[in-house]
């Protein structure tokens, strides 16, 4: 679109990439806010609400087809007050009106289209609409014309309908079952996943297929706790087939949003931070349980993609990358055999095409998505990716030492059987691909999504024994602490020097979980202290102390037409599921009675919400399993005489254990943190710090073992073996 031909609308003053994408539409958009609704009241017009996000393909399509259409824009401007919302900045608004769409239509999605009265009460909902009717689907122009006519002729009828919908939403929000968290619910979730499992391709159900990594983490945890091999096999099949498919970017690393087919071949090409965070944790879990090198390689490629493409220079993580380039979905990612040969040479190019399924005619609109679905040697082809330009600079600066690092990360001349086999070709193609039209990047930084990415980097540091991953997590947390906290409260997003938005439940829950993850790998008491403080604020502002469950937005925040409690673990775990995990971990670490009471109410609320469909709450079930199985608490008292490499190695071993032993919580007490730790966890007063070495105190369920100075004895007690870190 030629922006010079248009006067910008009010969105030009926003920071959201999604809103800015619509700033030159002829539609006179308002951002969500009182100005829009006051104008609707004054002019007696209904509100046209459009919700989406910047990397959404069909949001782009609807913009190009309809919101850049002068005739449709004129209709919208004449008959409606038009409001644009970035769902990632306003998850509360999105959740409320998505529940409307799902209740009215049985399904939802983005772009989300709502027609509503000036008081925010909706009377119509849908998703994507073409500009004009086609293939039996109504067109946006016809819909808008008809609704505007009804507003003029039958306004009272529409308002009555809006009141009924709002009343229904409030009724649904106020009702809720409570149930005891029991193992039968966990087992039912496993059976539901098993019934929908695709044994050939992995994943669940038919196309389209979503990774849902928290389902895979649940299966692995369930399998380990119950010794159910089928559960682990389901997760492994899915993880392997996703890696082999086109949903994984074999050139540049990272995963796309979902697959449009059952084989994981053709993705919806957008890449989202939260998907890659959760998938990294799923592959790490698989690696921790199996030691299979493939899972380590995939994890590293995900994290290196995030580090290279989605990391702000100051440490925060961006939201994602678009599916489209030059207005064409997937153009950036696909190749022809001729193109490959032109880049790599005929002989090498032909071998590469054979390896990655690139052939004449292609597998996607005449071109090919690189994949390993027909390559049975996929186990040996696990390319390790890194920042090409960064590595070039390092190699030039420090010679052979950096060259060795470069070779290790790219798999060049690597003979250990882990990586290699064409990694140099991948690097060459990655450099070539960078010269194509670059993908749009949603460069806002969200507290919530960053929380899970921090967890992923922290876990990777512990499981893979690599300090730089922990450093990435530490930098990202510092970014949030320094830029996204105001007056003791969390904000939602940061972009281009601006931080804004009232923090929602998922911001507080995910950030608290990130702080706990950092404590688990660093054992710095400050992380635990701040996690407890943010969790207390979360309970104060969001928790329903009478019935359990947390509301989506704060009690002193902007009030919408209904105050909802989300429990379904969809693309991301719900704020309520994560809040439960935070409360459980804090209760286990600190023994805090208030946290324990809140946890019990939260689990009864979550268990009640699972009735009939527990597999849709897989992340919450992780916490339920934690409380149903005997807990394990390990306190290590560590002398200040233990320093240097000896201390680093011990803490690394403890972090590794905590990430690989189900239900284990570890506290480390020293002379330096003793007083502060005792305030957080009063029971640790009874654990003296030795003058030399370390002392270990392990309790499993209600049984506590005799203290020991031998770490090997702890390992024997846990029935685990730890890798030499």
- The H or E element containing residue 556 is none
Residue 175 is predicted with a pLDDT of 66
Higher-confidence position of 418 and 101: 101
Beta strand pairing call for 112-116 and 47-52: antiparallel
- The candidate with the shortest Cα–Cα distance to 603, out of 618, 624, 588, is 624
List of residues 6+ apart from 607 with CB closer than 8 A: 178, 179, 180, 181, 182, 185, 624
Best mean pLDDT range from 149-158, 274-283, 435-444, 696-705: 274-283
pTM: 0.89
- The candidate with the shortest Cα–Cα distance to 683, out of 597, 585, 601, 593, is 593
List of residues 6+ apart from 419 with CB closer than 8 A: 297, 382, 383, 384, 411
> Which tens digits make up the pLDDT trace of 233-268?
999 999 999 999 999 999 999 999 999 999 999 999
Bridge partners for 638 per DSSP: 694
Is 405 a residue whose pLDDT tops 80? no
Q: How confident is the model at residue 438 (pLDDT cuts 50, 70, 90)?
A: confident
Q: How confident is the model at residue 705 (pLDDT cuts 50, 70, 90)?
A: very high
List of residues 6+ apart from 186 with CB closer than 8 A: 222, 614, 621, 624, 625, 628
> Which tens digits make up the pLDDT trace of 676-689?
999 999 999 999 99
List of residues 6+ apart from 295 with CB closer than 8 A: 239, 283, 284, 286, 287
In angstroms, the CA 510 to CA 244 distance is 30
In angstroms, the CA 408 to CA 415 distance is 10
Average pLDDT, the chain: 90
Is 721 a residue whose pLDDT tops 60? no
Query: What own/partner pairs with CB < 8 Å and gap ≥ 24 does 626-629 have?
Result: 626/584, 626/588, 626/662, 626/663, 627/181, 627/584, 627/599, 627/603, 628/181, 628/182, 628/183, 628/186, 629/225, 629/662, 629/663
Determine the average pLDDT of the residues in 648-662: 95
- The candidate with the shortest Cα–Cα distance to 307, out of 493, 414, 466, is 466
Instruction: Give 514-542 as a 3 state SS string.
Output: HHHHHHHHHCCHHHHHHHHHHHHHHHHHH
Higher-confidence position of 535 and 385: 535
Residue 645 is predicted with a pLDDT of 95
């Amino acid at each position: 679109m030629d922006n010079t031909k248009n006067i910008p609308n009010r969105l030009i003053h926003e920071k959201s990439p999604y809103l800015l994408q619509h700033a030159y539409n002829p539609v006179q958009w308002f951002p969500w806010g009182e100005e829009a609704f006051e104008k609707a009241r004054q002019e007696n017009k209904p509100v046209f609400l459009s919700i989406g996000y910047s990397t959404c393909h069909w949001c782009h399509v609807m913009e190009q087809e309809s919101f850049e259409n002068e005739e449709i824009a004129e209709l919208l401007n004449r008959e409606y007050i038009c409001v644009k919302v970035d769902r990632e900045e306003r998850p509360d608004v999105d959740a409320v009106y998505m529940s409307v769409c799902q209740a009215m239509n049985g399904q939802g999605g983005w772009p989300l289209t709502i027609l509503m009265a000036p008081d925010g009460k909706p009377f119509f909902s849908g998703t994507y609409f073409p500009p004009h009717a086609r293939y039996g689907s109504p067109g946006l122009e016809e819909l808008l014309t008809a609704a505007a006519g009804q507003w003029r002729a039958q306004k009272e009828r529409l308002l009555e309908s809006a009141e009924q919908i709002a009343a229904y939403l409030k009724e649904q929000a106020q009702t809720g079952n409570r149930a005891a968290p029991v193992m039968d619910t966990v087992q039912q979730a496993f059976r539901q996943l098993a019934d929908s499992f695709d044994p050939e391709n992995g994943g669940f159900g038919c196309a389209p297929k979503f990774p849902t990594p928290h389902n895979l983490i649940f299966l692995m945890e369930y399998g380990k706790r119950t010794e159910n091999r089928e559960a682990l096999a389901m997760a492994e099949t899915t993880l392997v087939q996703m890696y082999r498919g086109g949903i994984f970017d074999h050139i540049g690393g990272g995963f796309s949003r979902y697959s449009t087919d059952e084989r994981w071949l053709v993705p919806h090409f957008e890449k989202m931070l939260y998907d890659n965070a959760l998938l990294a944790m799923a592959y790490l879990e698989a690696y921790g349980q199996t030691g299979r090198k493939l899972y380590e390689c995939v994890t590293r490629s995900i994290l290196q993609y995030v580090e290279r493409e989605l990391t702000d220079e100051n440490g925060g993580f961006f939201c994602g990358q678009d599916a489209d380039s030059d207005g064409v979905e997937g153009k950036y990612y696909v190749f022809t055999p001729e193109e490959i040969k032109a880049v790599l040479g005929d002989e090498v190019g032909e071998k590469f095409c054979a390896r990655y399924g690139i052939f004449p005619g292609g597998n996607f609109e005449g071109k090919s998505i690189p994949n390993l679905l027909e390559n049975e040697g996929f186990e040996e082809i696990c390319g390790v990716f890194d920042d090409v330009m960064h590595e070039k600079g390092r190699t030039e600066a420090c010679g052979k030492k950096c060259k060795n690092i470069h070779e290790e990360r790219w798999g060049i001349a690597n003979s250990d059987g882990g990586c290699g086999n064409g990694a140099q070709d991948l690097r060459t193609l990655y450099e070539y691909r960078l010269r194509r039209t670059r993908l749009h990047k949603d460069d806002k930084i969200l507290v919530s999504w960053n929380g899970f990415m921090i967890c992923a980097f922290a876990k990777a540091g512990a499981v893979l024994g690599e300090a730089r991953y922990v450093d990435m997590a530490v930098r990202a947390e510092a970014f949030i602490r320094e830029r996204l906290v105001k007056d003791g409260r969390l904000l939602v997003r940061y972009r281009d020097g601006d931080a804004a938005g009232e923090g929602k439940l998922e911001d507080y829950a995910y950030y608290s979980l990130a702080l706990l993850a950092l404590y688990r790998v660093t054992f710095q008491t400050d992380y635990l202290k701040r996690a407890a403080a943010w969790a207390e604020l979360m309970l104060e502002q969001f928790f329903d102390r009478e019935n359990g469950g947390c509301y989506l937005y704060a009690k002193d925040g902007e009030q919408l037409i209904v105050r909802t409690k989300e429990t379904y673990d969809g693309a991301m775990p719900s704020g309520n599921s994560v809040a439960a995990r935070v409360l459980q971990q804090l209760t286990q670490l600190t023994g805090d009675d208030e946290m324990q009471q809140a946890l019990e109410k939260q689990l009864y609320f979550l268990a009640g919400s699972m009735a009939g469909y527990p597999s849709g709450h897989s992340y919450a079930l992780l916490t339920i399993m934690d409380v149903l199985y005997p807990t394990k608490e390990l306190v290590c008292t560590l002398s200040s005489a233990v320093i240097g490499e000896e201390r680093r190695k011990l803490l690394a071993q403890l972090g590794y254990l905590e990430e690989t032993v189900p239900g284990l919580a570890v506290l480390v007490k020293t002379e330096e943190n003793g007083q502060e730790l005792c305030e957080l966890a009063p029971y640790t007063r009874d654990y003296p710090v030795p003058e030399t070495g370390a002392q270990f105190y392990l309790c499993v369920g209600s049984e506590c073992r005799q203290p020991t100075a031998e770490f090997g004895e702890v390992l024997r007690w846990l029935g685990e073996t730890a890798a030499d870190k």
